[in-house]
Amino acid sequence: MVRAQGGILLLLLRILLCSVFPETNIASGIGSLVYGNKPDAAASALFSCYHAQHIPDPITMGAYLRGIPSRSLRMHRIWWSKHRHRLALSIFTHSDLDRLKSLERQCRGYPGGLITVAVWVPIIAEATTPPAPGQKPQSGYNLTAAQSAMLANATNTVDRFYTTFESPAINSSANGSSYPHTCILRIVLVYELVANDIMAALMPLNILRNTAMLMATTPLVAMVDADMLFNWGLAAKVLMNTSRVVMMEHKAMRELTVWVIPIFDTNTTRSIPERVSLAEEAVADGRNPKAKLLDMWHKRGDVYPYGMYGYTLGHGPTNYEIWSNTSSDYNVTYQTGYEPFFIVARRVLHR
Ligand SMILES: *[C@@H]1O[C@H](CO)[C@@H](O)[C@H](O)[C@H]1NC(C)=O
Ligand SMILES: *[C@@H]1O[C@H](CO)[C@@H](O)[C@H](O)[C@H]1NC(C)=O
Ligand SMILES: *[C@@H]1O[C@H](CO)[C@@H](O)[C@H](O)[C@H]1NC(C)=O
Ligand SMILES: *[C@@H]1O[C@H](CO)[C@@H](O)[C@H](O)[C@H]1NC(C)=O
Ligand SMILES: *[C@@H]1O[C@H](CO)[C@@H](O)[C@H](O)[C@H]1NC(C)=O
Ligand SMILES: *[C@@H]1O[C@H](CO)[C@@H](O)[C@H](O)[C@H]1NC(C)=O
Ligand SMILES: *[C@@H]1O[C@H](CO)[C@@H](O)[C@H](O)[C@H]1NC(C)=O
Ligand SMILES: *[C@@H]1O[C@H](CO)[C@@H](O)[C@H](O)[C@H]1NC(C)=O
């Protein structure tokens, strides 16, 4: 995978709200377009689980620093593709409205696979009027007209994004086959009441990732960032190889194996448009895509292993030297500080 843009991975410690999720409900396989008031089993389970945990107190910096997870998130709408996904691996990720452009590239690079996304909209709570003497304080929080309008606008933005990929006749069977040309999307829009503009800049990454994960229904899952592009061969070769997928599922379930995803960054001295096109070049199909990628790294200096010139512990143990010289599996030894992206059995994450 190649990052189109750099970005600091903030590992914010906010924990999972819905840790016990009824898997039977979500594993229905056949999705449907779900809106707030017409949910199918999966989405309605998600909604009720989430909202049972909801407390409408805006998250504050103090609570955040004490490691108290935000409980002021609310699901606003779920979009659940009607199309069937074809690959055993779901990708789950978090996004805000600005990252949808990156997500669009990611979705085009993962045809037939499921990508589940939690899109975050922070809402800065207005100060409430203190209760009159002798009266109990009002519980709950009502959005102001301006906040409701902003949320409606955000919903439209996500809806437009989703519809581009969902329109079935044109996009899924353009050439007479029913194989999708893009990914299959499940998106949830969540908003979070926050106390101030500092908190409005701190995306609750772990909660959002976990929320997105709850919509993944395949045996294998991988958490990635929205600005990562997948190599063409992931969907077209690795996940199309039935014996490989059977082996991966087996090892993931029985031996708790995870598969580390080598990740590259584009050269940060280049302009953003240039970096986007380098990333697209690096992941494209070709005669020998891996040789091309190595060429872009060693000869052209266009890409290099992620974190190679920064936090080397983060991805160092992946060992890009060995990866460069082999096409076989090899073992990676965990070291403190290692934070790779990886493919894992969904059931293992649900434990
Ligand atoms: C929110 O609106 C409802 C209906 O108008 C009202 O009954 C309730 O008291 C309001 N809550 C707050 C906290 O203002
Ligand atoms: C609505 O969204 C668009 C783009 O998504 C943005 O340009 C516009 O400022 C937004 N309007 C409001 C009222 O938030
Ligand atoms: C779907 O098809 C329409 C019309 O050809 C096109 O504008 C749109 O970009 C396509 N969407 C995707 C995700 O390929
Ligand atoms: C249709 O498009 C898919 C995906 O691009 C491709 O795999 C398939 O071979 C195409 N089928 C025909 C008949 O061109
Ligand atoms: C499919 O995967 C198996 C097991 O990993 C491997 O031996 C085989 O070469 C792969 N086939 C193709 C066409 O890549
Ligand atoms: C990034 O690109 C610049 C300009 O082309 C080049 O001088 C530099 O060596 C490259 N960086 C790496 C790490 O390859
Ligand atoms: C990998 O191959 C390169 C070039 O062929 C060589 O310079 C390097 O030492 C090899 N690394 C390992 C770990 O074998
Ligand atoms: C990786 O380690 C396991 C357990 O130590 C071992 O069974 C396996 O053969 C190793 N795989 C490779 C490719 O070295």
What does the pLDDT profile of the chain (351 residues) look like in tens digits?
444 333 222 222 222 233 333 332 232 332 333 322 334 666 777 777 777 778 888 888 888 888 888 888 889 999 988 888 889 999 999 999 999 999 999 999 999 999 999 999 999 988 776 667 777 666 678 899 999 999 999 999 999 999 999 876 455 555 556 678 899 999 999 999 998 898 899 999 888 998 999 899 899 999 999 989 999 999 999 999 999 999 999 999 998 889 999 999 999 999 999 999 999 999 999 899 999 999 999 999 999 998 888 777 888 888 899 999 988 889 988 888 888 899 999 988 765
| d(C-alpha 190, C-alpha 212), whole Å | 10
What residue numbers bound the domain in which 14 lies? Answer: 8-133+141-240
Report which bound ligand comes closest to the CA of 146: 2
Residue 28 lies in a domain: yes
Residue 77 lies in a domain: yes
Residue 174 CA to ligand 4 center (angstroms) comes to: 9
Residue 226 lies in a domain: yes
Residue 310 lies in a domain: no
Please enumerate in sequence order all residues whose Cβ is within 8 A of that of 265, keeping only pairs 6 or more positions apart, or say none. 2, 3, 6, 303, 304, 305, 306, 307, 308
Residue 326 CA to ligand 7 center (angstroms) comes to: 10
| Protein residue with least CA distance to atom 3, ligand 2 | 153
* CA 281 to mean position of chain CA atoms: 22
Amino acid residing at 103: L
Residue 61 lies in a domain: yes
Domain count along the chain: 1
Residue 337 lies in a domain: no
Residue 273 lies in a domain: no
| Protein residue with least CA distance to atom 7, ligand 2 | 153
Atom of ligand 8 nearest to the CA of 329: 13
Reported pTM: 0.83
104 lines ligand 3 (CB under 6 A): no
Query: Cα dist. 171→78, 163, 175, 252 in Å?
Result: 21, 11, 9, 33
Residue 50 lies in a domain: yes
Residue 163 CA to ligand 3 center (angstroms) comes to: 9
